[in-house]
Amino acid sequence: MTTPTPTPTPTAPVRDRALSLAGHQLPAYIYDLGALREHAASVRSALPERVELYYAAKANPEPEILTALAPYVHGYEVSSGGELAHVTASVPDRPLAFGGPGKTPDEIAAALELGVARFHVESAYELRMLAELASRTAPGRRIAVLLRFNLPVAARSLEGSALTMGGRPAPFGMDPAEADDAVRALTDGSHPQLELRGIHAHLASGLAAAEQLAVAEAVVTWAAGLAARHRIPLHEVNVGGGMTVDYARPGARFDWAAFGTGLARIAAAHPGPLLRIEPGRALSAYCGWYATEVLDVKHSHGEDFAVVRGGTHHLRTPATKGHDQPAAVLPMDTWPHPWPRAAARQDVITLTGQLCTPKDVLARRVPAAGLRAGDRVVFALAGAYAWNISHHDFLMHPRPGFHFLAPAFPEPTPPHGP
Ligand SMILES: *Cc1c(COP(=O)(O)O)cnc(C)c1O
């Protein structure tokens, strides 16, 4: 492949911070909370009435991120007891939806005690467990349930291409063949505390707006059919997250305006239920940057490599997704050492980390003519599934610093200890 990896443009606050930190203060995660707020506000304003926005905390649960998003989201989706406790502490008294496979009895009991607003129930077994634990832990209280289904959605995208989502063997959600039994279990009086509020489906990730709308429409139609068959009200349909982030085009964004227009059309065709989306990646990815410095530059069998401080043990995203993380070089004119700087010979270079494994590649084909040891590199789209999915302790290098930049809304940033 010869296509160069695209060069992102860091925001001014990110650029200034990346250049002002000393070498030993790198690598660092730099989050532009002003940019996050701006982005979240534009997402929110694109959504019509009767559509709620939850943030899937697993994409990036840093308390500063959760807090910055608070004015723009209706609630948070949590997928473990750990996230439940953490999100409750970081943004108290916000509506939570507790989802995810393999909820333990202790986690469910903790969620009941915290008064979690709704449960996304993943199986018939989990439903029985929830009913029993509710009667013990929260006697008399009504518990809102959304049944999660792994639906075989065959839909046509707005561009006309056929789409098949879900419906494959998976540990997520319930098989649609179990739908009638599950609805009966919630409506025949056997679990009086559980209230069937609606249906949840999160079927794919990485979908553009047209595909996402086709899936949402199919999910809502299926849910409405199920409710009609059982003559029960349908209060809510959660159509999940998975809005795409295009790592090959760091300046591009999911088309929230088209998505909002399409959701309004779906809502108009299905009067009644509230629709809800729960994106993670497409909300937080853009505000995060991983900044570092070039430690060494070398030429090996015809190709240039730059080794940077840190690596995929901090930013695992390119290794897990198999892409090149968009990177911008910030040249440094100052050089603190008496020895000469290592320098690139070629115009494109592979950026690797400090790990002793060939998998520690952050980006290939980065346009970096003249790159030298001591130059700074900032990796974009590092605000989701980045630090929190990485194997921090492998090789025992120091942890990165964390910087939460909020120029327009100054806020104390608590120290981020290991
Ligand atoms: C991971 C997840 C999300 C968020 O997915 P993104 O791709 O980050 O938008 C939403 N809902 C559920 C159930 C998930 O597991």
Same domain, 186 and 213: yes
On the question of pLDDT at 51 being above 50, the answer is yes
Residue 411 lies in a domain: no
If one counts the domains in the chain, the total is 2
Same domain, 262 and 297: no
Same domain, 196 and 272: yes
For residue 311, what are the domain limits? 12-30+286-405
On the question of pLDDT at 388 being above 70, the answer is yes
Same domain, 185 and 304: no
Average pLDDT over the chain, rounded to whole?
A: 95
Residue 241 CA: which ligand 1 atom is closest? 9
Same domain, 157 and 294: no
Residue 307 lies in a domain: yes
pLDDT of residue 359: 96
The finding on whether 242 has its CB within 6 A of some atom of ligand 1 is yes
Residue 74 lies in a domain: no
Same domain, 310 and 261: no
pLDDT of residue 418: 40
Residue 281 CA: which ligand 1 atom is closest? 8
Domain closes at, from 226, 247, 279: 279
| Active site (annotated) includes residue 356 | yes
The finding on whether 200 has its CB within 6 A of some atom of ligand 1 is no
Report the pLDDT averaged over residues 297-322: 97
Same domain, 232 and 291: no
Indicate which CATH number applies to the domain containing 201.
Answer: 3.20.20.10
Per-residue pLDDT of 354-363, as tens digits, reads 999 999 999 9
1, 162, 177, 356: the catalytic one is 356
On the question of pLDDT at 140 being above 50, the answer is yes
Residue 219 lies in a domain: yes
Same domain, 234 and 298: no
pTM: 0.95
**Which of 265-269, 391-395, 410-414 is the least confident region?**
410-414
Same domain, 241 and 296: no
The finding on whether 191 has its CB within 6 A of some atom of ligand 1 is no
Domain closes at, from 250, 279, 308: 279
Confidence of residue 296 (pLDDT cuts 50, 70, 90): very high
Report the pLDDT averaged over residues 307-319: 98
Same domain, 226 and 118: yes
On the question of pLDDT at 417 being above 70, the answer is no
Residue 339 lies in a domain: yes
> How far does residue 240's CA lie from ligand 1's centre (Å)?
7
Report the pLDDT averaged over residues 53-59: 98
Indicate which CATH number applies to the domain containing 330.
Answer: 2.40.37.10
On the question of pLDDT at 413 being above 60, the answer is no
**Which of 132-141, 155-164, 308-317 is the least confident region?**
155-164
The finding on whether 388 has its CB within 6 A of some atom of ligand 1 is no
Nearest CA to ligand 1 atom 10: 241
Most ligand 1 atoms within 8 A of CB, residue of 39, 43, 58 to mutate: 58
Residue 157 lies in a domain: yes
Residue 206 CA: which ligand 1 atom is closest? 7
Measuring CA to CA, which residue among 140, 86, 144, 77 is closest to residue 110?
86
Domain closes at, from 279, 313, 338: 279
Residue 55 lies in a domain: no
Same domain, 211 and 300: no
The finding on whether 383 has its CB within 6 A of some atom of ligand 1 is no
Same domain, 238 and 312: no
pLDDT of residue 2: 60
Residue 58 lies in a domain: no
Residue 120 CA: which ligand 1 atom is closest? 13
